[in-house]
Amino acid sequence: MFDTDRTQVSERSIVFKTPDGAELVGRLFLPSHAPFAAVVLNGATGVPQSYYAHFARWLAAERGLACLTFDYRDVERSWSGPLRQSTADMTDWGTTDQLSARQALARAVPDTPLWVIGHSLGAMTLPNQRNFEGVARVIGVASGIVHHSDHPWPYRAIALLFWFGAGPVATAVTGYLPGKRLRFGENLPAGVYWQWRRWCTSRTFYDTDLGARLPEPAWDHEIPVRLIGFSDDDLIPPHCVHRLAERGYGGKANVTVIATDGPVGHLSAFARRNAALWPQLLEG
Q: Are 51 and 25 in contact (CB under 8 A)?
A: no
Cα-based distances in Å from 204 to 33, 198, 201, 222: 47, 10, 9, 27
Q: Which of 42, 38, 56, 57 is nearest to 111 (CA)?
A: 38
Q: What is the pTM of this model?
A: 0.96
> How do 23-31 and 65-70 pair as beta strands?
antiparallel
Q: Which residues pair with 9 in a beta bridge?
A: 31
Per residue of the chain (284 residues), give pLDDT as tens.
555 566 689 999 999 999 999 999 999 999 999 999 999 999 999 899 999 999 999 999 999 999 999 999 999 999 999 999 999 999 999 999 999 999 999 999 999 999 999 999 999 999 999 999 999 999 999 999 999 999 999 999 999 999 999 999 999 999 999 999 998 888 999 999 999 999 999 999 999 999 999 999 999 999 999 999 999 999 999 999 999 999 999 999 999 999 998 899 999 999 999 999 999 999 86
Single-letter amino acid code for the residue at 51: Y
For residues 176 and 187, give the distance between their C-alpha atoms in angstroms, rounded to a whole number.
7
CA distance 178 to 269: 25
Q: What are phi and psi of 98, to 5 degrees?
A: -65, -45
What is the DSSP secondary structure assignment for residue 210, as one 8-state letter? B
User: 190-200 vs 155-164: helix axis angle to the nearest 10?
Assistant: 130
In angstroms, the CA 224 to CA 140 distance is: 11
Contacts of 154 (CB under 8 A, 6+ apart): none
DSSP state of 33: S
- Per-residue pLDDT, 163: 98
The region, left, alpha or beta by phi > 0 then psi within -120 to 50, assigned to residue 134 is: left
Report in angstroms the alpha-carbon separations of 196 from 17, 90, 94, 227, 254.
Answer: 24, 7, 11, 21, 25
- Identify the pLDDT of residue 6: 61
pLDDT digits (tens, 9 = 90+) for 124-178: 999 999 999 999 999 999 999 999 999 999 999 999 999 999 999 999 999 999 9
Is residue 92 within 8 Å of 125, Cβ to Cβ? no
Architecture per CATH, domain 6-146+216-282, reads as 3-Layer(aba) Sandwich (3.40)
